[in-house]
Amino acid sequence: MEKLCLECGEKLIGRADKKFCGDYCRNAYNNKLNKDSKNLIRNINNRLRKNYRILESLNPEGKTKTTKSKLLNKGFDFEYFTNTYTTQKGSTYYFLYDQGYLPLDNDFYMLVKRE
């Protein structure tokens, strides 16, 4: 049985389990397969990445305080986060992967990093 390259359709020569004729076809095939197919997903991932970078830049030591205006000036979007954590006392932390924030009084925020 003749096997063909999954990307370009050329006849494959070599190992029995070979799927691609070369690195170019393998890379092109996987890039197409892994591409974010919808704009919505790509845009949300970009916002999450941006929020993460902002928290990371403002919180190099692992725990600090900042203001809402400082976050907004850097372009932080409070609608996008990956998960929440509620303490026994009822405080809700919002996380972007391992970087998080806790809303405090007077538009202050505690920035934390989960270990």
Assigned domain for 13 exists: no
Q: Quick: pLDDT tens for 21-78.
A: 999 999 999 888 877 667 788 889 999 999 999 999 999 998 999 999 999 999 999 9
Assigned domain for 30 exists: no
- Describe the strand order of the beta sheet including 108-113 as a list of residue ranges: 63-67, 108-113, 99-103, 92-96, 83-86
Number of domains making up the chain: 1
- Give me the residues paired with residue 13 across strands: none
Assigned domain for 24 exists: no
Assigned domain for 15 exists: no
Assigned domain for 90 exists: yes
**pTM, full prediction:** 0.70
d(CA 11, CA 93): 56
Helices (H), 2-113: 23-34, 39-58, 68-73
- Give me the residues paired with residue 11 across strands: 4
Retrieve residue 16's tokens.
Answer: 């029995």
Assigned domain for 73 exists: yes
Assigned domain for 102 exists: yes
Residues of the domain holding 49: 39-113
